[in-house]
A = this chain, B = another copy of it.
Amino acid sequence: MIQPRRTLSAAERFDWLRLIRTENVGPITFHRLLERFGSAGAALEALPDLARRGGRTKPLRIAAKADIDRELAANDRIGARLLCSCEPDYPEPMAALDDAPPVVSVLGHPHLLQRRAVALVGARNASMNGKKFAERLARELGEAGLLVVSGLARGIDTAAHAGALGSGTAAVVAGGADVVYPPENETLYRDIVQQGVILAESPVGTTPQARHFPRRNRLISGLSLGVLVVEAALRSGSLITARMALEQGREVMAVPGSPLDPRCQGTNNLLRQGAALVEGVDDVLRALDNLSPPTLRERQGDLFAQSRPAVPSDADLETARAVILENLGHTPVAIDELVRGCQLSAPVVLTVVLELELAGRVQRQPGNQVNLI
């Protein structure tokens, strides 16, 4: 069910934050729970029972109210605003993601997030020329009215933010909105807080860990109509962002480079695979020209119907649980396939998977897939 866009009350926001901070609740599960129970508060009440039915023996640890109070206070203290995915100020291209973060913390000028956005990403060990190119292009894209999104990393990211600083730029960070990483970008970070916007999915104070970066990358592309990779070696983080952009149905663009420079192998490979070739601002504008921003209507994988789904009976769920556990393995399988393969209804499968997930017995993977843990 697609939620109407509205601003939440303080109590609702508290429940949203508490639900997403609860053990075994990721963004997709969060949205399923909301669809199933109509509100975060109702979902929180239902959680222990769901987890138990999924086979959990010890009780599910719901986030403590005191912790949520502390997180809200920390946000206030650093001057950050919390945006929930149903709220009008939350950027719609990001809200359209299956795994849209239910709550993000935003520092600086959230209104910039309403602009049409393009991500510029690339190698941390970029060449002088690559950085020069990224900085100029970012400035020109900003002047053309686009929001330039990047990840505050060394190299291309830094150049992109610096170039677009005057017109507005968004840094999506892997840790908390208040945590500067890498530390050498302290000044740039402060400038972005003053003139741009910082967006974080992690709670205030979180030090970024390796596992946070791919999750953060999905938001760089998720905020944007398209992702431009300026320089990237094979198997680099920027290519993960490009892959996510593809999966999210966003445009992928790349700057060509010499085959003799390993920092261009990733971008050349993207071009070989059909990415739009970019030599300058006009190429980017042309590539994005006919794209309409992704909207909530396009959210994939909503197997529940438009209205609140019928709640399956306990007996049905009991039978279904056995069949589904038999069909799941350690290799991820798409939920759609599970529905077809088990000859069960979508609401039944989704409910069982939700319960198993809350019980910590299955894990969600990108592309709406699940596997046994």
Contacts and interface: CB of A to CB of B under 8 A. Distances in A.
Interface stretch (A176-184, A254-262, A295-303, A312-320): A254-262
A265 B280 CA distance: 11
Interface stretch (A31-39, A105-113, A271-279): A271-279
Interface string A244-265: 0000000000011111100011
Contacts of A132: 260
A272 B279 CA distance: 10
Contacts of A14: none
Contact of A258 (B258, B265, B271, B272): B258
A331 interface: no
Q: Which of A129, A133, A268 has the most CB of B within 10 A?
A: A268
A258 B129 CA distance: 9
A259 B137 CA distance: 11
A69 to B, nearest CB: 52
Interface string A98-139: 000000000000000000000000000000010011000000
Interface residues of A, number: 18
Contacts of A257: 256-258
Contacts of A256: 256-259, 264, 268, 271
A164 B258 CA distance: 21
Q: Give how many copies assemble into the complex.
A: 2
B265 A279 contact: yes
B279 A133 contact: no
Contact of A259 (B268, B271, B272, B280): B280
A129 B256 CA distance: 15
Nearest to A276: B272
A97 to B, nearest CB: 30
Contacts of A277: 268, 271-272
A228 to B, nearest CB: 12
Contacts of A279: 259, 265, 268
Interface in A16-59: none
Interface in A148-177: none
Interface of A: 129, 132-133, 255-260, 264-265, 268, 271-272, 277-280
27 contacts: A129-B258, A129-B260, A132-B260, A133-B258, A133-B259, A133-B260, A255-B258, A255-B259, A256-B256, A256-B257, A256-B258, A256-B259, A256-B264, A256-B268, A256-B271, A257-B257, A257-B258, A258-B258, A259-B278, A259-B279, A259-B280, A265-B279, A268-B277, A268-B279, A271-B271, A271-B277, A272-B277
Given A255-B258, A256-B258, A268-B279, 16 more contacts: A129-B260, A133-B258, A133-B259, A133-B260, A255-B259, A256-B259, A256-B271, A257-B257, A257-B258, A259-B278, A259-B280, A265-B279, A268-B277, A271-B271, A271-B277, A272-B277
